[in-house]
Homo-oligomer: A and B are copies of this chain.
Amino acid sequence: MNLHHPEEVLQHPEEVLQRLADEQEIRALGYRFADACNRGDRAAFADLWSADGAWAIGSPFNVHARGLDDIMRTLEELSASWEFFVQMPHAPVVTLEGDGARSTWTMAEHAVSAAENRSYFNYARYDDRVVRHGGGWRFLERRYEYYYLDDEPLVVTGERP
Binding site for B on A (CB under 8 A): 1-6, 8-10, 13-14, 16-18, 20-25, 28, 30-32, 34-35, 38-39, 58-60, 84, 86-94, 104, 106, 108, 110, 112, 121, 123, 125, 132, 134-137, 146-152, 157-161
Contacts and interface: CB of A to CB of B under 8 A. Distances in A.
A142 B26 CA distance: 26
B38 A147 contact: yes
Contacts of A20: 17, 20-21, 24
The majority secondary structure among interface residues of chain A is: mixed
Contacts of A84: 147-148
Contacts of A21: 4, 9, 16, 20
Given A20-B20, A21-B16, A31 B93 contact: yes
Contacts of A13: 13-14, 17
Given A106-B34, A160-B146, A161-B146, A136 B86 contact: no
